[in-house]
Amino acid sequence: AGGRAEARTADVGDTAAVEALVAAVVAAHGRVDHLVNNAGITRDGLLMRMKEEDWDAVLRVNLKGAFAFSRAVLRTMIAARYGRIVNIASIAGQMGNAGQTNYAASKAAVIALAKSLAREVGSRDITVNAVAPGFIATAMTDALPEEIKAAYLAAIPLKKFGLPKDVSSAVQFLLSEEAAYITGQVVAVNGGLYM
């Protein structure tokens, strides 16, 4: 909406790469006001059969990435005495999900990261929150078997799947001045599937 966007890439699990990216952004723009930790992957499987590298890969991207970016932007946010950080969690991190122990653990951890960091930096007018999406209609969920989608739909009180804009609207709100007195919270965007 009238702003300017710029794309930059880094391996979120590589703290040196993350720090270099943030340093380049600060050099170009002076500071970082908003951070959305949105990187996430899955490597689903039952825990008893899960490969250690699948466990590690999910935690490296989903949790270590949020840690690395949050730590990298804090110096500029603290100096500015302003900042907004939003971690994208998941309903799986709140209620668990069979076959996703690694993913659910990583998403529960980014919720705990948000809550703990909110306590650390709140006095500097930096808010830290999480958004926990439920079943969101995407190309990935469209590929699920119809019986699985029907079972989820039956369990959702609103009787519909969420849209990506439902998640982005929650994030946009948490980044706004209207949310200046909200920190350490988890905004559930799940149609009531988990209350």
Supply the pLDDT for residue 2: 67
φ, ψ (nearest 5 deg) of residue 155: -85, -15
Secondary structure class of 162 (helix, strand, coil): strand
Residue 116's pLDDT is 99
Burial class (CB in 10 A: 0-12, 13-18, 19+), 56: middle
What average pLDDT does range 156-161 have in this prediction? 97
User: How confident is residue 173, by pLDDT bands cut at 50, 70 and 90?
Assistant: very high
Residue 57 forms beta bridges with which residues? none
Is 103 tagged catalytic? yes
Q: What's the pLDDT score for residue 1? A: 56
Q: Domain residue spans in the chain?
A: 32-189
Residue 74 structure tokens = 């804090």
Name which of 23-37, 43-57, 78-92, 135-149 the model is least confident about. Answer: 135-149
Torsion, CA 100, CA 50, CA 71, CA 84, rounded to 10: -10
Instruction: Give the least confident one: 31-45, 140-154, 155-169.
Output: 140-154
The CATH code of domain 32-189 reads 3.40.50.720
Which residue out of 82, 103, 152, 194 is catalytically annotated?
A: 103
* Terminal-residue alpha carbon distance, the chain: 33
